[in-house]
Structure 1
Amino acid sequence: MTSHGTLGVAVIGTGRMGADHVRRLTDVTSGARVAAVVDIDAERVKGIADGIEGCAAYTDPAQAMADPGVNAVLIASPGPAHEAALLAAFEADLPVLCEKPLTPDAASALRVLEAEQKLGHRRVQVGFMRRYDREYMKLKALLDSGELGRTLMVHNRHRNAEVPPGYTNQMLINDSVVHEMDITRWLLDQEITAVTVLRPRPSGNAPEGLDDPQLVIFETEGGVLVDVEINVRCRFGYQVQAEAVCENGTARMGDVHDILVNHAGRWGGTIAPDYVERFEDAYDREVQAWVDATRRGEVTGPSVWDGYAAAAVCEAGVRAQAEGRRVEVELIERPALYRA
């Protein structure tokens, strides 16, 4: 770090998410600065670096990590590129915030898990930003308090207004429902043991080849049943809701994120257009928490184990979707490094 303790961050990947993190680190986050940006598009990355004082542009992640001004890495490149960048960061022993997915499949995630264990200490926080959302944090605190008794079921709704062309059934699981997979494990502090996927008749809004919506059901090791309505072309906005059904009551979040207005015989609020706006505050808190922990010499938040577990559940979900049956999740025993 610099003499003022400022964390110099290399942002790898400058697409929509990476560019938003560059803005966040520059304009919102305290205690950090963008020291380098990395992208295969040399012209694009140079244009970004030219607008940030003291920022260098690279097309090779390893070269950026060797920059003396870089103390930490934020990976926001496409998922297939994550493993190589993570292993390079381990070689340099640099702390990492890695956007989800950790890697695209359980086998590569397991390789990253094994590589981090060889370091003997955690280096990675995985970017499951919902854990930093105010409503989810309140729900987690309430469930942990035991006030409502044991959790028996959780109902989730995950709705997108639109998805880009080429969005597939597998992406419903790997890109969308993966968030419910992680948040379920975090809220309940239980692993998911099996996945079932049910398909109603498809919406008329669904493009050819996409079965939308779908109902995904998780079973947990503690006997909780969790369902997820995934609906990626609902047309009216981006909406994430969850309701925990417990022994002595229920708790629901996600209905209101803004003021409710009564006017001209009607009442209501607004619905966010996409995930970037809906979870903007969560992303801000996530990155600030990572910066603060890194400056203290700590690693907190979702771990490589969480990234691996999510990948394993995704694989079970994709199989359940394709085969039309209940599929059990295959996990290795959790290593000691990730038991806390």
Structure 2
Amino acid sequence: MIRVGVIGTGMIGQDHIRRMTTVLSGVRVTAVTDVDARVAAEVGGRIGAAVHATGAELIADPQVDAVVVCSWGPTHEEYVLASITAGKPVFCEKPLATTQEACLRIVEAEVAHGNRLVQVGYMRRYDFAYRQLKHALDSGQIGAPLLMHCAHRNASVPGHFQKEMSITDSAVHEIDMVRWMFGEEIAAVRVLVPRRNRHGGDLQDPLLLILEMAGGVLVDVEISVNIRYGYDIRGEIVGEDGTVALGVQNPIEVRREGRAGLPVPADWRERFLQAYDVEFQEWIHALAGGGQPLGPSSWDGYAAAVASDAGVEALRSGGRVPVVLAEQPKLYVAEVPA
């Protein structure tokens, strides 16, 4: 039984606690903490977990075998580094850290430790549809890949949402996904700016992100964060001999009042509910018996941060921005294709 401590008991933290408490096997949440002590106490009392005043105390708790970080992004570096120092596996919701320099410090700390302890929460790698897409690609059914078309559409976003967040908060999932899908790094980024959506106010929305993969595949990502009708994630790979695309996201068809239609997910929680379950169950299984996490690594978190920064620079400059990574440590050499 893996004993887990959760840092951050907000919306995503409570959702992960729910799945570890009621859905998954081989895991028990033994400790929680949050900057809002009242919320932490309520959550901890509900599940019978110890409540700690700080993340540092939780990480040091001998009743905690592994740590889940769901706190505010700027705190991620501190808690991930502390977990590495303590020798405890740590699952960190994205971003790994808020700057590429901080991500690189985590990579260096993990390399110095000597083995992998960190997994980053890029859940698309665990989605059934994306896994089927990758299987079809890897099997050679459509020949060598040439292009990939993606769409990342949100019904709306909060008022504090800024234009850069379309890349750093939304499209970063596609950035990680294509590295995994094609088993190679992103070489350069461009951003095209179309006519502005009137529903977005002063926000520049939508955007068209162009990713140049190291092997020559071009990926376009439509990012629309005020599309109104729902949460819609799309992907199609064009190969030399055919195409393969994500299937319909909802298995039912509704017919009423002379019309037929497919329900659209309301948000990311509904669309990727099962992916989160699989992600955590596979993490728990990997840790059982002292194993290492096998999912998205510190290097993946770092590479996504560098590509996201390049995207933000391309948005501001209007030009093509190369993605320049540090030398990849041997610890992570096999990570991109995993």
Determine if contact 2:254/2:263 at 8 Å carries over to the other structure: no
Q: How far, CA to CA, are the matches of 2:99 and 2:312 in structure 1?
A: 11
Tell me the residue number matched to 2:260.
Answer: 267
Is residue 188 of structure 2 the alignment partner of residue 179 of structure 1?
Answer: no
Relative to the length of structure 2, the TM-score reads 0.97
Q: How far, CA to CA, are the matches of 1:267 and 1:172 in structure 2?
A: 32
Determine if contact 1:102/1:307 at 8 Å carries over to the other structure: yes
Is residue 34 of structure 2 the alignment partner of residue 34 of structure 1?
Answer: no
**How many percent identity over aligned positions?**
49
Give structure 1 regions of 4+ aligned residues with deviation exceeding 6 angstroms. none
Q: How far does residue 191 in structure 1 lie from its aligned partner after superposition?
A: 0.4
Q: How far, CA to CA, are the matches of 1:255 and 1:8 in structure 2?
A: 37
Tell me the residue number matched to 2:285.
Answer: 292
Q: How far does residue 264 in structure 1 lie from its aligned partner after superposition?
A: 4.2
Determine if contact 2:190/2:321 at 8 Å carries over to the other structure: yes
Is residue 219 of structure 2 the alignment partner of residue 234 of structure 1?
Answer: no
Q: How far, CA to CA, are the matches of 1:112 and 1:170 in structure 2?
A: 24
Tell me the residue number matched to 1:49.
Answer: 44
Is residue 3 of structure 2 the alignment partner of residue 11 of structure 1?
Answer: no
Determine if contact 2:186/2:323 at 8 Å carries over to the other structure: yes
Q: 1:194 aligns with which of 147, 169, 188?
A: 188
Paired residue total:
333
The residue identity in structure 2 corresponding to 1:276 is R
The residue identity in structure 2 corresponding to 1:331 is L
Deviations 1:281-336 (A, max 9, x none): 00000011111111132221111110000000001000000111110011012110
Q: 1:256 aligns with which of 217, 241, 249?
A: 249
Structure 1 residues without counterparts, runs of 5 or longer: 1-5
Which 10-residue stretch deviates more, 320-329 or 58-67? 58-67
Tell me the residue number matched to 1:324.
Answer: 318
Structure 2 residues without counterparts, runs of 5 or longer: none
Q: How far, CA to CA, are the matches of 2:249 and 2:147 in structure 1?
A: 22
Q: How far, CA to CA, are the matches of 2:163 and 2:105 in structure 1?
A: 26
Determine if contact 2:186/2:307 at 8 Å carries over to the other structure: yes
Q: How far, CA to CA, are the matches of 1:153 and 1:98 in structure 2?
A: 31
Q: How far, CA to CA, are the matches of 1:7 and 1:267 in structure 2?
A: 47
Q: How far does residue 263 in structure 1 lie from its aligned partner after superposition?
A: 4.1
Determine if contact 1:241/1:255 at 8 Å carries over to the other structure: no
Q: How far does residue 265 in structure 1 lie from its aligned partner after superposition?
A: 2.7
Map of 1:39-188 to 2, 5 A cutoff?
A: 39-53=34-48, 55-188=49-182
Relative to the length of structure 1, the TM-score reads 0.96
Q: Flag the 1:252–1:118 CA change in 2: closer, same or farther, 3 A.
A: same
Deviations 1:145-188 (A, max 9, x none): 11211110000010000101110011111000100000010111
Q: How far, CA to CA, are the matches of 1:163 and 1:254 in structure 2?
A: 25
Q: 1:282 aligns with which of 266, 269, 275?
A: 275
Deviations 1:236-276 (A, max 9, x none): 00010000000000011153322123444321221111001
Q: How far, CA to CA, are the matches of 2:247 and 2:209 in structure 1?
A: 19
Where 1:256 maps in the other structure, the secondary structure is: coil
Tell me the residue number matched to 2:330.
Answer: 336
Q: How far, CA to CA, are the matches of 1:180 and 1:255 in structure 2?
A: 18
Determine if contact 2:96/2:301 at 8 Å carries over to the other structure: yes
Q: How far, CA to CA, are the matches of 1:222 and 1:43 in structure 2?
A: 51
